[in-house]
């Protein structure tokens, strides 16, 4: 029953309805300066009559296609129409923002309103369902997935959107952005790397010794259930005490706040996915294969290198992927205890009530986790031995 | 070649193998048989030290196995198991080349050996060597498993139900192939099975096990003819007389028989049939196509018309058939005799129900020896 309700068509229709609902909301917000509250402008007032007609017609086309489209070309058409909605919306936003800024005092800002966000959200909900339905047709699938995003990147690159508040904010803080981006990547990648170095041996240990299995997963499971903010907080006290007791630690940069507790917490978080997948990867191996390997005269090390490692590698990397995606998100919270990273913009924006600064942190974090996810998926594919691919 | 002396292995104070002694000669196929949990697999694994004995000694070539490093010992003993255990991430060729690789053979030598073995087990090397395990059928996988066990040309082969996981027809084919290969290679083989028919077909000697102990160790004929105790008697079953027939080739029971061609004259027919009840009719190439009953002699029709025709493939036996096969064919067709043919399908004689009965009786008498 739930399955039927969640069929791709239902998802697509939900997305399109979200898009239609977005139309009456405010599409652009004009603010006298970056912190002040602004006035919302409707679709027609903000983007202009021509843009309104195009966007409304596109959305109605999408509704018709999502309600009645069953064939492949219709699904493809729906996907392309949805991408056009996104492209049109962003495209018309650029000049509209320029026009509004031109008429206002120099410190005024223009940001996307609820309408634009809802339209993009709805479009991507429906695009996701098209993507599912186009499985097996990679060309169309990729076109539908990436057309809109690619266009947005091109518009960003050409300076078409430079009058939007988020971009203005980015230009003002470019150096800071790059620094925090690097910070973010170093924090999450370093932690996952260290977590893998510890988690893999833990997983192997659990798979080898029945007695170790229980305690290892008891501890890692508990760590996983502690909310990230709480874990960061919990580490502040002991680390402060340590750095007070041993001043040499302070020289190394280890203290109650900053990178040290963040890295420790992030490493702890990545232990469970990595250790658990390593454990499963090793214990799911067919005992007959291990028996055959031993019976043929492989030593412990040879058995591990030639049989266990290649056969469990895909699952281990799958664990590293989970840990990485999770770490990208958790690193955002680490900014609260002074570790830096893109989360810094989020908390900065919240404390200043400057939404555009929040977006400057949040959107890159989302993009980063998507990139990390697909890169790791690629790695899993590469690591999967050829003979197993047929399954 | 292989000797187990008073070997005991305890698992949690329960003896899986209990004071077990056995001797297997060079070039012999010894089949370990018994009900589930009788310790036959443990016994097998004791020999290549996958299981260590609690007490007792195991000698291979007169040398105590515990004095050889386990890995080194195992590389000199072929090992094939029921679930095959082929490595799914390697090609068929790489699977077979594992032990030669462990022994440090060169690449050329390994690939030549792989081709040789694939041919031996009847798989076309160029087609099969690059395949992955997931692309093989059950029967092919088992054959690759046997080829892999033979890879480094070990003098000894341990096989744990090597033909267990396939359908009966494929199993029979694999068994025939096994015998053909064994006649060529003359390995010393210990094979574990719970299938008595398989044991009878393959074994030079059968070792019957019960609760970790050896109950009887003898040739299949002797085991069937004179079971050592009630357990073996029950294990071989009430049809042991029939089973024994599957050890006996029809070869020595083929007796000359008269035959006529379809173009023979009446006189020739009468001469051929002589005192017999019937005569086989063969075609121009000497292949049996049917027979003529004595009663039909009075029938005035053509020779062709009074011939009772039968499907040759259904009724003939060859020298490689067993009495068991011949008997079941006779019962199936309702015949009292079957034509025997040579490799080219030409009639060379016949085998009769009476002869099979005599063979059975000869075996029965062994009970009283």
Q: If pLDDT is split at 50, 70 and 90, which confidence band does A328 have? A: very high
Number of Cβ atoms within 10 Å of the Cβ of A183: 20
**The whole model's pTM is what?**
0.75
Measure the CA–CA gap between A200 and A220, rounded to whole angstroms.
13
Query: With b meaning 16 or more CB within 10 Å and e meaning fewer, what string describes A205-215?
Result: ebbeeeeebee
| CB < 8 Å & 24+ apart, contacts of A5-11 | A8/A129, A8/A130, A8/A132, A8/A133, A9/A66, A9/A129, A11/A125, A11/A126, A11/A128, A11/A129, A11/A132
How much is the mean pLDDT over chain B? 86
Angle at A148 between CA A144 and CA A154, to 5 degrees: 135
Contact (Cβ atoms closer than 8 angstroms) between residue A240 and residue A265: no
* Farthest-apart Cα atoms in chain B, separation: 84
**B72–A297 C-beta distance less than 8 A:** yes
Render pLDDT for B204-261 as a digit per residue (tens, 0 to 9): 999 999 988 999 999 988 888 888 888 888 888 777 777 778 778 888 888 888 888 8
**CB within 8 Å: A390 and B71:** no
H/E stretch holding B99 reads: helix B98-102
In this complex, which of A290, A294, A388 lies closest to B88 when CB atoms are compared?
Answer: A388
Is residue A189 helix, strand or coil? helix
Give, for B213, the enclosing helix (H) or strand (E). Answer: strand B213-218
pLDDT at B363: 59
Q: What share of chain A is helix, strand, coil (3-state, %, to 5)?
A: 80, 5, 15
**8 A C-beta contact, residue A196 and residue A327:** no
Nearest-by-Cβ selection for A386 from B50, B75, B132: B132
Label the pairing between strands B188-193 and B156-160.
parallel
Phi-psi map region of B345: left, alpha, beta (phi>0 left; psi -120 to 50 alpha): left
Find the largest Cα–Cα distance for chain A.
83
B364 vs A241, higher pLDDT: A241
Judged by CB atoms closer than 8 Å, whether chains meet at A292 and B48 is answered as no
Say which range, A66-70, A152-156, A201-205, A320-324, has the weakest mean pLDDT. Answer: A66-70
Q: Which residues pair with A29 in a beta bridge?
A: A40, A111
Which residue in A290, A296, A387 is closest to B98 by CB distance?
Answer: A296
Collect all residues of chain B within an 8 Å Cβ-Cβ radius of residue A307.
87
Length of chain B: 369
Q: Is the pLDDT of residue A6 over 80?
A: no
Put the strands of the sheet holding B337-341 in their side by side order: B317-318, B337-341, B347-352
Separation between Cα atoms, residue A12 and residue A17, nearest integer Å: 9
Residue B368 confidence class, pLDDT cut points 50, 70, 90:
very low
Query: Of B87, B90, B102, which is closest to A297 when you measure between CB atoms?
Result: B102
Q: What residue in A sits closest to B92 (Cα-Cα)? A: A387
Question: What distance in Å separates the CA atoms of residue A81 and residue A85, rounded to the nearest whole number?
Answer: 6
Phi and psi at residue B3, in whole multiples of 5°? -135, 130
Helix (H, G, I), strand (E, B) or coil at B2: strand
In this prediction, residue B364 carries a pLDDT of 55
With a cut of 70, say whether residue A116 has pLDDT above it.
Answer: yes
**Residue B247 DSSP symbol:** T
Residues of B whose CB is below 8 A from A386: 89, 132
Q: Which of B87, B99, B102 sits opposite A289 (nearest CB)?
A: B87
Q: Is residue B197 exposed (0-12), middle (13-18) or buried (19+ Cβ within 10 Å)? A: middle
| pLDDT at residue A320, rounded to an integer | 95
Contacts of residue B369, defined as CB under 8 A and 6 or more positions apart, other chains included, come to: B226
Query: How many Cβ atoms sit within 10 Å of the Cβ of residue A243?
Result: 20
Tens-place pLDDT, residues A247-296: 777 777 777 777 888 888 899 999 999 999 999 999 989 888 999 999 99
Of all residues in chain A, the percent with pLDDT exceeding 90 is 40
pLDDT reading at A390 higher than 70: no
- Please list every residue in chain A whose beta carbon sits closer than 8 Å to the beta carbon of residue B76: 297
| ipTM, 2 dp | 0.73
Which of B131, B122, B123, B62 shows the shortest CA–CA distance to B95? B131
pLDDT of residue A385: 85
Chain A residues within 8 A (CB-CB) of chain B?
A: 286, 288-299, 302, 306-307, 310-311, 385-388, 390-391
Q: In chain A, which residue's Cα lies nearest the Cα of B151?
A: A296
- Residue A4 scores a pLDDT above 70: no
What percentage of chain B has pLDDT greater than the value 90? 36
Which chain A residues are Cβ-neighbours of B87 within 8 angstroms? 289, 292-293, 306-307, 311
Closest Cβ–Cβ partner in A289, A295, A388 for B48: A295
User: How many beta-carbon pairs under 8 angstroms link A with B?
Assistant: 78
Query: Which chain A residue has the Cα nearest residue B148?
Result: A296
Q: What angle do CA A62, A66, A67 make, to 5 degrees?
A: 120
What distance in Å separates residue A284's CA from the closest CA in chain B? 13
Cα–Cα distance for residue pair B42/B22, rounded to 1 Å: 14
All structural domains of chain A: 2-164 (1.20.140), 174-390 (1.10.3720.10)
List alpha helices for A159-173, DSSP H. Answer: 165-172
A217-245 tens-digit pLDDT: 888 888 888 888 888 888 888 877 887 77
Judging contacts by C-beta atoms under 8 Å, the chain B residues touching residue A292 are 79, 81, 84-87
DSSP state of A112: E
Q: Which of B48, B71, B132 sits opposite A387 (nearest CB)?
A: B132
**B-side interface with A, Cβ within 8 Å?**
45, 48, 50, 70-76, 79, 81-91, 98-99, 102, 132-135, 148, 158
Sheet of B63-64, strand order: B14-24, B2-11, B55-60, B63-64
Q: Which residues pair with B198 in a beta bridge?
A: none
| Residue B317, SS3 per DSSP | strand
Burial group, residue A336, by CB count within 10 angstroms (0-12, 13-18, 19+): middle
- The reported pLDDT for the residue numbered B225 is 82
Cβ atoms of A11 and A128 within 8 Å: the answer is yes
Q: Which residue of B has its CA nearest to A314?
A: B89
Q: How many angstroms separate the CA atoms of A358 and B146, rounded?
A: 66
Which CA distances in Å does A374 have to A322, A325, A368, A377, A381?
11, 10, 10, 5, 11
The whole-angstrom separation of Cα A278 and Cα A313 is 8
Question: Which of A197-201, A385-389, B279-283 shows the highest mean pLDDT?
Answer: A197-201
B60/chain A closest Cα distance in angstroms: 16
Q: Which residues of B touch A306 (CB under 8 A)?
A: 87, 98
Q: Dump pLDDT digits (tens) for B246-294.
A: 778 888 888 888 888 888 888 888 888 877 888 888 888 888 888 888 8
> φ and ψ at B342, to 5 degrees?
-90, -170
Among B143-147, B242-246, B347-351, the least confident range:
B242-246
Q: Which residues of B touch A312 (CB under 8 A)?
A: none
Q: Which of A288, A290, A390 is nearest residue B132 as measured by Cβ atoms?
A: A390
B39: left (phi over 0), alpha (psi -120 to 50) or beta: left
Interaxial angle between packed helices A309-334 and A355-383, expressed in degrees from 0 to 180 and rounded to the nearest 10: 170
- In 3D, which of A100, A262, A267 has the Cα closest to residue A200? A267
Chain B nearest-CA distance from A71, in A, is 35
Predicted local distance difference test score (pLDDT) of residue A190? 93
């Amino acid at each position: 029953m739930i399955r039927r309700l969640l069929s791709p068509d239902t998802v697509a229709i939900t997305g399109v309805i979200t898009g239609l609902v977005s139309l009456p909301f405010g599409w652009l917000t004009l603010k006298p300066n970056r912190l002040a509250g602004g006035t919302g402008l409707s679709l027609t007032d903000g983007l202009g009559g021509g843009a309104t007609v195009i966007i409304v017609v596109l959305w109605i086309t999408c509704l018709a296609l999502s309600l009645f489209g069953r064939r492949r070309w219709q699904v493809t058409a729906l996907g392309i129409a949805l991408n056009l909605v996104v492209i049109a919306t962003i495209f018309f936003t650029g000049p509209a923002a320029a026009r509004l800024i031109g008429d206002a005092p120099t410190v005024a800002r223009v940001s996307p309103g609820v309408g634009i966000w809802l339209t993009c959200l709805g479009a991507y909900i429906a695009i996701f369902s098209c993507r599912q339905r186009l499985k097996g047709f990679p060309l169309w699938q990729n076109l539908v997935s990436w057309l809109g995003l690619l266009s947005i990147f091109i518009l960003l690159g050409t300076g078409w959107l430079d009058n939007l508040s988020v971009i203005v904010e980015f230009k003002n803080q470019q150096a800071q952005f790059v620094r925090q981006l690097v910070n973010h990547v170093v924090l999450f990648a370093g932690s996952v790397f260290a977590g893998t170095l510890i988690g893999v041996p833990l997983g192997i240990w659990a798979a080898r010794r029945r007695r170790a299995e229980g305690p290892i997963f008891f501890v890692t499971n508990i760590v996983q259930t502690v909310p990230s903010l709480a874990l960061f907080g919990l580490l502040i006290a002991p680390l402060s005490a340590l750095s007070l007791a041993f001043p040499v630690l302070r020289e190394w940069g280890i203290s109650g706040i900053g990178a040290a507790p963040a890295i420790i917490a992030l490493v702890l978080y990545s232990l469970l996915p990595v250790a658990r997948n390593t454990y499963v990867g090793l214990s799911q191996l067919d005992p007959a294969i291990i028996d055959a390997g031993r019976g043929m005269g492989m030593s412990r090390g040879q058995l591990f290198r030639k049989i266990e490692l290649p056969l469990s590698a895909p699952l281990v990397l799958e664990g590293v992927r989970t840990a990485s995606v999770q770490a990208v998100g958790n690193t955002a919270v680490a900014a609260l205890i002074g570790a830096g990273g893109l989360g810094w913009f989020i908390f900065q924006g919240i404390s200043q009530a400057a939404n555009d600064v929040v977006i400057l942190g949040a959107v890159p974090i989302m993009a980063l986790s998507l990139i990390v996810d697909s890169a790791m998926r690629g790695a899993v594919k590469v690591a999967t031995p050829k003979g197993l691919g047929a399954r | 070649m292989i000797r187990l002396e008073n070997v005991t292995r305890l698992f949690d104070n329960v003896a899986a193998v209990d004071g077990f002694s056995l001797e297997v000669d060079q070039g012999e196929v010894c089949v370990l048989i018994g009900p589930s949990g009788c310790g036959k697999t443990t016994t097998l694994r004791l020999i290549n030290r996958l299981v260590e004995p609690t007490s007792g000694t195991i000698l291979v070539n007169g040398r105590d196995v515990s004095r050889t490093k386990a890995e080194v010992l195992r590389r000199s003993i072929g090992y094939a198991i029921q679930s095959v255990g082929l490595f799914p991430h390697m090609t068929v060729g790489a699977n077979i080349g594992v032990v030669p690789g462990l022994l440090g053979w060169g690449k050329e030598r390994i690939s030549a050996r792989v081709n040789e073995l694939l041919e031996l087990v009847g798989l076309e090397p160029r087609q099969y060597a690059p395949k992955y395990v997931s692309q093989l059928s059950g029967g092919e996988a088992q054959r690759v498993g046997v080829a892999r066990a033979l890879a480094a040309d070990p003098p000894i082969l341990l096989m744990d139900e090597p033909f267990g996981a396939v359908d009966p027809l494929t199993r029979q084919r694999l068994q025939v192939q096994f015998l053909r290969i064994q006649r060529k290679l003359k390995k010393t083989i210990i094979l574990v099975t719970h299938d008595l028919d398989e044991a009878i077909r393959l074994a030079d000697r059968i070792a019957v096990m019960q609760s970790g102990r050896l109950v009887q160790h003898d040739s299949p004929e002797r085991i069937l003819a004179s079971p050592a105790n009630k357990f073996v008697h029950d294990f071989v079953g009430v049809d042991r007389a029939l089973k024994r027939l599957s050890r006996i080739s029809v070869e020595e029971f083929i007796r000359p028989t008269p035959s006529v061609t379809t173009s023979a004259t009446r006189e020739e027919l009468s001469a051929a049939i002589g005192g017999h009840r019937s005569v086989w009719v063969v075609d121009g190439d000497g292949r049996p196509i049917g027979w003529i009953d004595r009663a039909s002699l009075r029938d005035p029709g053509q020779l062709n018309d009074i011939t009772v025709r039968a499907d040759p493939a259904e009724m003939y036996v060859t020298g490689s058939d067993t009495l068991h096969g011949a008997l079941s064919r006779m019962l199936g067709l309702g015949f009292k005799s079957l034509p025997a043919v040579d490799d080219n399908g030409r009639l060379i004689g016949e085998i009769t129900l009476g002869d099979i009965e005599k063979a059975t009786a000869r075996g029965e008498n062994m009970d009283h020896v």
